[in-house]
Amino acid sequence: MAGKFDNKCTLHNDYDYRFICSDCRVPVCDYCIVSKNHHRSHSIDFITSENCNQIFQEFKNNNFQFLIKCLDGDKELLNKSNEIFNELEEEHIHNVNTISNEFKQLHTILDSVEKDTIKHLVSHYDENKETHSKISKKLENNSKNAHLITNKYKDTINNFNIQQIFNNDQNIKGNNHQHLELLKHCHQSQMLVKEKNTENKNIDLLNEFNKVTIENSMDFVKNSIKDTFKIKLSSATYKDPKRVKLGGGEYFIYKDGCVIPNGTLYLALGPSIKNLTIGSIPATIQRIALLNGFNLQLTEGLLPNSVQWLHIGAIRKPLIKKSIPQSVSFLFLLDGFNQEISEIPPNVTQIYLGDTSFKIPQTLIKSVRVYKTPSCKQDLNGFNEVLWNSNGYSQIEM
Ligand SMILES: [Zn+2]
Ligand SMILES: [Zn+2]
């Protein structure tokens, strides 16, 4: 029968606490004592008021106080875990939608390519069909005429007296035309024979047929389609790096509310930042790096109008209109940057591309030069592009 108090071993729920391990100063059950992983070969004592009290005092003075702090810490951890999971969930839905939409579009493209290809094929088939019908008709016609003439003349050709027919035709009122029919048959025969004797003409006729073959590259498409979406795993938690160097310049890592040393020109904003107001970043900063995990929605004026170089990593919010200062000329979209940019300011003349899915709008084709790093997988058709070896350009120490 279960008692009023819980006397079961916290590690082995089916066993009662029976002794105390004096080495570890904890209550133990039979299983604890015997099991290799627990207290085997420790010194085990009976439970007495003395060792009971000893353990209680330790609990009261140390662990109980700490336990309260632990609960708060756990609460914070749970909040953070919820926050991260919510973002992961949001991203998951976004990813699923992206894949569904892309495949929907692909289905439409496939459908239209299939229809167009078949239509194209049918038009060639129709041409051949028409050629076939033309040849058949012509041969049928020829053969009809040839039969007509041969049947008509095969028994009588030696008995024809042209003079007599001619005179006869002239004499009869209403004009008899037997001589004209005769001439027609002569003419037809001449044409038929001429046609048969010119070998090439027959071949020319058949040359109007076009053999249609298809070159099938579907295997290539089928294989490449498997790689259209690569699923990548990376850490879901971000922390500010210890040190950021880009292009040889050391960046000051901004923290919420910190004082930016005078004369600072290069500033890095990391994932720890929760608050920025207009003026937090002084209008003397020339270069800014938005680091992986930067999770603040930038709006107009938060980044000052003195920034000319903007490096953007895998940040977690889109760049809405006017969030990029108008002063920016050099825009670096680093590995993992996958957000939208609503508007690229007109002063931007150079865009550096890492491994990003961001597509530069075609409207910028004349105004920007694109520097492509080895990690950039994009096809930049039409853009004025330069291959850029970015090795050693960025050194971020975590
Ligand atoms: Zn136990
Ligand atoms: Zn022990």
Q: How far is the CA of 41 from the centre of ligand 2 (A)?
A: 8
Angle at 93 between CA 88 and CA 97, to 5 degrees: 145
Sign of the C-alpha dihedral computed for residues 161, 162, 164 and 169 taken in this order? positive
Please state the domain extents for the chain.
109-225, 239-398
Q: How far is the CA of 23 from the centre of ligand 1 (A)?
A: 15
Provide the pLDDT for residue 174: 63
Tell me how far CA of residue 347 lies from CA of 43, 301, 306, 368, 386, in angstroms.
78, 16, 12, 9, 19
Mean pLDDT of 354-360: 90
Q: Which ligand is nearest to the CA of 17?
A: 1
Q: Which ligand is nearest to the CA of 29?
A: 1
Cα(255)–Cα(274) distance, integer angstroms: 9
Q: How far is the CA of 13 from the centre of ligand 1 (A)?
A: 8
Cα(173)–Cα(244) distance, integer angstroms: 118
Q: Are residues 227 and 242 in contact, defined by beta-carbon separation less than 8 angstroms?
A: no
Q: How many CA atoms lie within 13 A of 54 on its CB side?
A: 13
Cα(136)–Cα(150) distance, integer angstroms: 21
Q: Which ligand is nearest to the CA of 11?
A: 1
Q: Are residues 287 and 311 in contact, defined by beta-carbon separation less than 8 angstroms?
A: yes
Q: Which ligand is nearest to the CA of 12?
A: 1
Q: How far is the CA of 53 from the centre of ligand 1 (A)?
A: 20
Q: How far is the CA of 47 from the centre of ligand 2 (A)?
A: 14
Q: Which ligand is nearest to the CA of 44?
A: 2
> Does 13 score more than 80 pLDDT?
yes
Q: How far is the CA of 14 from the centre of ligand 1 (A)?
A: 9
Cα(309)–Cα(358) distance, integer angstroms: 18
Q: How far is the CA of 51 from the centre of ligand 2 (A)?
A: 14
* pLDDT tens digits along 328-342: 999 999 988 989 999
pLDDT classification of 225: cutoffs 50, 70, 90:
confident
Instruction: For residue 96, give the amino acid letter.
Output: V
CA dihedral 344, 349, 354, 356 (to 10 degrees): 20
Q: Are residues 251 and 245 in contact, defined by beta-carbon separation less than 8 angstroms?
A: yes
Provide the pLDDT for residue 199: 66
Q: How far is the CA of 64 from the centre of ligand 1 (A)?
A: 22
Tokens of 261: 């040393």
Tokens of 398: 């975590």
* pLDDT tens digits along 261-286: 999 999 999 998 989 999 999 999 99
* pLDDT tens digits along 106-128: 999 999 999 999 999 999 999 99
Quick one: which of 394, 350, 358 has its CA closest to 377? 358
Q: Any bridge partners for residue 266, and if so which?
A: 287
What is the per-residue DSSP string for 254-319?
E-TTPPPPTT--EEEE-TT-----TTSS-TT--EEEE-TT------TTTS-TT--EEEE-S-SS-B
Report the DSSP pairing between strands 17-21 and 26-29.
Answer: antiparallel
Q: How far is the CA of 344 from the centre of ligand 1 (A)?
A: 65
Q: Which ligand is nearest to the CA of 25?
A: 2
Q: Which ligand is nearest to the CA of 13?
A: 1
Provide the pLDDT for residue 42: 92
Q: How far is the CA of 69 from the centre of ligand 2 (A)?
A: 27
Q: How far is the CA of 49 from the centre of ligand 1 (A)?
A: 20
Q: How far is the CA of 39 from the centre of ligand 2 (A)?
A: 4
> Does 99 score more than 70 pLDDT?
yes
Angle at 353 between CA 347 and CA 357, to 5 degrees: 110
Q: How far is the CA of 37 from the centre of ligand 1 (A)?
A: 10
Cα(124)–Cα(209) distance, integer angstroms: 10
CA dihedral 344, 283, 277, 354 (to 10 degrees): 40
Provide the pLDDT for residue 69: 87
Instruction: For residue 364, give the amino acid letter.
Output: L
Cα(268)–Cα(235) distance, integer angstroms: 20
Strands (E), the chain: 17-21, 26-29, 44-46, 243-246, 249-254, 266-269, 287-290, 309-312, 330-333, 350-353, 369-372, 384-387, 394-397
Q: Which ligand is nearest to the CA of 21?
A: 2
Q: How far is the CA of 36 from the centre of ligand 2 (A)?
A: 11
Q: What are phi and psi of 172, to 5 degrees?
A: -80, 130
Q: How far is the CA of 71 from the centre of ligand 2 (A)?
A: 27
